[in-house]
A and B are shown apart, each in its own frame.
Chain A
Amino acid sequence: MAAPLLELAGVSKSFGGLVVIDNLDLVVDEREIVSVIGPNGAGKTTLFNLITGIYPPDTGEIRLDGESVVGLPPYKITRRGAARTFQTLRLFQNMSVLENVMASQYGRTKVDVVRAMLRTPAMRREERAIRTQAEEKLSFFGQRLMGYRWNQPAYSLSYANRRRLEIARAMATEPRILLLDEPAAGMNPVETHEITELIGQLRDEGGYTILLIEHDMHVVEGISDRVVALDHGIKIAEGTFDAVATDPRVVEAYLGTKATTTK
C-alpha cells in the first residue's frame, strides 16, 4: 500500500504549561475528505498551524507524501503540496482579486526580478501562464468571482466571497492537500449549502485531498469520508460521522456530563 498523503505520528505541542496537542496520530489518504471537529480550544487550528509549519511540533513526526516536513519553513511546506485557508480571513486586502490568486503562485514559478525588469520572453510566457491559472481557479466558483470582480480590491468583497477567494488562492499554489479552516463560518444557509457542494467538487473534479475544520455539522455530515474529534488536544473519536456523533465522549466534550453524576 502506498504511503498516506499526510501522516502525523505522536505529535505534541504545548504553549507554556498548556498542552494544546497531545500525542496525536492522524492519517489522511489521497483523495479523502477528513473533517476535524471539537469544541472551541480543542486544538484544531493549532493542528493546521503545525502541519503548515507556522510553528514546529515539540515532539512527533509530520510526513507529507512520505517525507518529513518538520522544521521546514511554511513556504517550503506549501511547495511540497499542502495549502491552507484561515479561520480569520487573511487575504491580501489591498491587492485585486486576480492578484491575490496570482501572488500565491510564487512558489511554483521561477522568473527572477532582473528578468522581470527586462521583460524577457520567458517572463512574459510565465506571466501569461500565471494569469490563465488564476482565471481558471477563480472560475471554479461559477460567477461568484468572475468578470469585473477580478480587478476589485479584495477588501471590497462580501464576506462569503472572501472565503471563496481564500480557497481559490490556496488552490493556485497547486497543492495536493487543501486544509480548510472553517470554510462555512459566517455564511448563511444557502451559502453553506453551496460551499458544501463545492468541497465535494474540489475532491471529485479538482482531485484534491481535503482536511477540514468545521463547526457546522450539516457540512461535516454531508461530505466527510471520515471524522476526527479532538478535545483538549487528544483524539477522542475517529470514524464515520454517525459513529463519531453518537460517541459518548464526543457528546460529553460538547455538552458536558450530567450534573447529577458529580453528587
Chain B
Amino acid sequence: MSDTPDKPDTPDVSEPPPEREAGAQIGVDSWVATEQGRRARGGPLGALARGWESTPDAAKLLVFLAAASTLPFWLNEGDLFTYGLFTLLYAILGLGLNVVVGWAGLLDLGYVAFYGIGAYGYALVSSPQYGIHWPAVVAIPAVMAATALLGLLLGFSARRLQGDYLAIVTLFFLQAFLAFTGTANPTIAGVGLTGGPNGIPNLDPLSFFGYRLTSTKQQYFFLLGVLAVVAAAFYLANLSRTGRGWRALRDDPLAAEVMSIPVDRLKQLAFVIGAATAGLCGAIFAAIEGAVVSTDFTVAVLITIYAVVILGGLGSIAGVILGAIVINVSAQFLAPQSDHPEIKRWLFYGTVLFLVVALVKPWYRAAVSLLGAVALGFCVHAIVAAAAAPSWTAGAAADAGSGSTGKAIASWVLITQGHGNFDTYVYIALVVALIVVRSVSGWWRAVALIPTLYLIPVVWENVLAPNPATTALILFGAMLVVLMTTRPQGLLGTPRVEVM
C-alpha cells in the first residue's frame, strides 16, 4: 500500500482534503498500516512470521508429522514415553478442549471428567475386572459414544448458563466424577465398579484386528496418526458453517441466534465433540498405562490442558499443538524426578544471562554488570574462605556432580552448610536488591546489578536447587507469566476484541 501509484510523491499542503474514496481509506489504512508493519518486521523473527503465514496449513501439518515421526529414532524408550507420547496426548486433549473453549467460548471445567470416563470406560470393557475383553477397535468407539452421550447431557447446562455459572456446574461434574470413582466405588456384580483408590489394574493393550500395540514406539505412531486425523477433522469443521456458527456465538450469542444460528444446539454439539475427544484420549491413555486410578484425572490435569490451549493460542490448532510441546516438555524437564536435573540449572542461568543482555542497554553496561558480578563472587568467596568458619563454604552445588562445573560453581558461589538462617537472609537481600535495581537508572542501575547478579546464583544454589519440587513450580509459573505477558493471545493465537 505504501507504494500505491495514485498517491502524489510530495503531499501538497494547500490541496483540499482528498475525495471520499481516498477519505474512506483514512480509517481503513490504520489497520492496513499496522498489519503491514507487522508483516514488514525485519530480522529473522519477521522472516519466520512471513514464512509461517505464507505456508499452506496442510503443508504445516505434513512438516510437523514428518518431524514428529523421526522422534522414535533418536529418543530412547523412556524419553519417547515422557516427551513424545505425552506431548501427543496433551495435544489431542487440547484440540478437543479448543473446540469447546476456543471456538464455542464455553468455560468447561468438567473436561477432564470425560477424559477419566473414557479411561474407566476402556478399563471396564477391556480388563479382567468383569472378564470382558473387547478389542480396542470396538472398545474405543463404544467409549467415545458413551462420553459423547454424557457430553450431550452436560451440554444441557450450557443452554441456560454462561461464563462463571457454567464453569461452576461443570467443575462440580468433575468433582462428582472423582468422588464416584475414588471413594464411592459401588459394588456391581460382586466387584467394586471402579476399584476405589486402587483403580483398575491389568488392562488389555491396544489391539486392532489381532495386532497388538505394546511397545512405546508403536503406541507413539498410533497416537501421531490419531492426532493427524483429529487435527485435520477439526480444521475442516472450523471452516464449515458449524465452525462459523461456533465462533459467531462466542462473539455474540444474541446476534448469532437472530442470524438464524441455533445457538443452544451448537453449544451442545461443541460439548459432544469435546467429550468424545477426551473420551478417545482417556481410552488410549488407559490402554498405554495398563491401569486407571482416579488421581490421574484431577484438577491439576485440567489446569495443564487449559495451559496448553491458552499458552498455544485459543482457537488456533497449530497453537494448541505447539502449546502441548512447550508445556509438556518444560513440565517434564522441571519435574523433580526428571532424568536431566542439570538442565534446570542451565535453563535458569541461561534465562538470567539472556534477560541481562536483552534488557540492559547499551551493551557495555551489561558487560560491566556481568563481569563485576563474576569478580565480586570470587572476592566474596576468597574473603569468606579465609576469614570465616569452613562450614560457610562447605556446600556443594546440588545435582552438578563433582565435575569441573560443580567445582567452578562451588568456588564462585557461597554454598553454606548448616546455616539455616542464611537462606532466608539471602532471599530477602535478593528481593531488596531487585527493588533497588528497579528504582535507579543509568550507571547506578548497572552498579546495583552487580550484587544482584551475584545474589541470584547464591539464592539458586542455596535455596532453590536443593528443593526441586517447589522450584519446578516457581519456574513453571514464571515461564507462563513471562510468556503470557509478552503474548497475551498465546504463541500462535490472534488477538481478540471483546467490547468495542
Q: With A79-B260, A112-B242 given, name 11 new contacts (CB 8 A).
A: A52-B258, A54-B254, A78-B258, A90-B252, A90-B254, A92-B255, A105-B260, A119-B236, A143-B21, A144-B24, A161-B27
A residues in contact (CB < 8 Å) with B? 52, 54, 73-75, 78-79, 83-84, 86, 89-95, 99-100, 102-109, 111-113, 116-119, 123, 126-127, 130, 143-144, 148-149, 152-153, 155-158, 161, 169-170, 173, 190
A22 to B266, CA, bound (A): 36
Instruction: Select B258's contact among A54, A117, A155, A157, beta carbons within 8 Å.
Output: A54
Q: Determine the residue in chain A with the shortest Cβ distance to B23.
A: A190
Decide if B244 touches A95 in the complex (CB within 8 Å). yes
Contact across chains for A74 and B28 when beta carbons are under 8 A apart: no
Contact among B236, B241, B263 for A117, CB-based, below 8 A? B236
Residues of A within 8 A of B255 (CB): 86, 90-92
Task: Write the chain B residue with the least CB distance to A52.
Answer: B258
* B497 pairs with A155, CB closer than 8 A: yes
Per the 8 Å Cβ criterion, residues 456-500 of B in contact with A are 494, 496-498, 500
Q: 18 A-B pairs, CB-CB below 8 angstroms?
A: A52-B258, A75-B260, A78-B258, A83-B258, A91-B252, A92-B255, A102-B244, A103-B241, A103-B244, A103-B248, A111-B240, A112-B242, A116-B239, A116-B242, A123-B240, A144-B24, A156-B31, A158-B27
Closest to A155 in B: B497
Chain B residues whose C-beta falls within 8 Å of the C-beta of A79 in the assembled complex: 260
A92 touches B240 (CB 8 A): no
- Complex Cα gap A19–B261 (Å): 30
A-contact bits for B227-251, CB 8 A (1 contact / 0 none): 0000001101101111111011011
Distance in Å: Cβ of B57 to nearest Cβ of chain A: 13
Contact: B236 with A170, CB < 8 Å? no
Nearest A residue (CB) for B242:
A113
Distance between Cα atoms of A74 and B258 in the complex (Å) = 5
Chain B residues near A103: list those with CB within 8 A: 241, 244-245, 247-248, 256, 259, 261
- Asked whether any CB of chain A lies closer than 8 Å to the CB of B92, the reply is no
B32 within 8 Å of A (CB atoms) = yes
Q: Are B258 and A84 in contact (CB under 8 A)?
A: yes
Given A52-B258, A103-B248, verify A116-B497 contact (CB < 8 Å).
Answer: no
When distances are taken between beta carbons in the complex, the residues of chain B under 8 Å from A156 are 28, 31
A111 touches B257 (CB 8 A): no
Which of chain A's residues have a CB closer than 8 A to the CB of B247? 92, 94-95, 99, 103
Given known contacts A91-B255, A92-B248, A116-B236, A78 and B242 CB-to-CB distance under 8 angstroms: no
CA distance A123 to B28 in the complex (A): 34
For residue A99, give the distance in angstroms from its CB to the closest CB of chain B: 6
Q: Which residues of A contact B243 (CB under 8 A)?
A: 116
Q: B269 near A: Cβ within 8 Å?
A: yes
Interface footprint category on B: 35 or more
Q: Does B143 contact A (CB under 8 A)?
A: no
What CA separation (Å) do A40 and B198 show in the bound complex? 67
Asked whether, in the complex, the Cβ of B28 is within 8 Å of the Cβ of A149, the reply is yes
In the complex, what residues of A have CB within 8 A of residue B273's CB?
Answer: 113
CB distance from A10 to the nearest CB of B (A): 24
A109 near B241 (CB under 8 angstroms)? yes
A106 near B244 with CB under 8 A, answer yes
Q: Please, how many angstroms separate the alpha-carbon atoms of A112 and B266 in the complex? A: 11
Query: With an 8 A cutoff between CB atoms, is B160 at the interface?
Result: no
Q: For A148, give the chain B residue with the smallest CB separation.
A: B32
Determine the chain B residues whose CB is within 8 A of the CB of A84 once the complex forms.
258
> Contact mask B200-239 → A, CB, 8 Å, 1/0?
0000000000000000000000000000000001101101
- How far does the alpha carbon of A130 sit from the alpha carbon of B242 in the complex, in Å? 13
B27 partner residues in chain A, CB cutoff 8 A: 157-158, 161
Nearest CB of B to A259, in Å: 41
**Closest chain A residue to B262, Cβ basis:** A75
Is B236 within 8 A of A92, CB to CB? Answer: no
Q: A103-B248, A111-B240, A158-B28 are in contact. Are A93 and B497 (CB under 8 A)?
A: yes
Contact present for A75 and B28 (CB under 8 Å): no
Complex-state Cα separation, A127 to B241, whole angstroms? 8
B7 an interface residue at 8 Å Cβ cutoff? no
Docked-complex contact B241 and A173, CB < 8 angstroms: no
Q: Are B259 and A104 in contact (CB under 8 A)?
A: yes
CB distance from B28 to the nearest CB of A (A): 7
Q: How far is the CA of A155 from the CA of B252 in the complex (A)?
A: 13
The chain A residue sitting closest to B272, CB to CB, is A113
Contacts of A95 in B (CB 8 A): 244, 247-248, 251
Knowing A89-B500, A113-B240, A119-B236, say if A75 contacts B263 (CB, 8 Å). Answer: yes
Give complex CA distance A119, B237 in Å. Answer: 9
CB <8 Å contact, A92 and B256: yes
B496 and A75 contacting across the interface, CB-CB below 8 Å? no
B259: A residues at CB distance < 8 A: 75, 78, 83, 103-104, 106-107, 169-170, 173
CB neighbours of A149 from chain B (8 A): 28
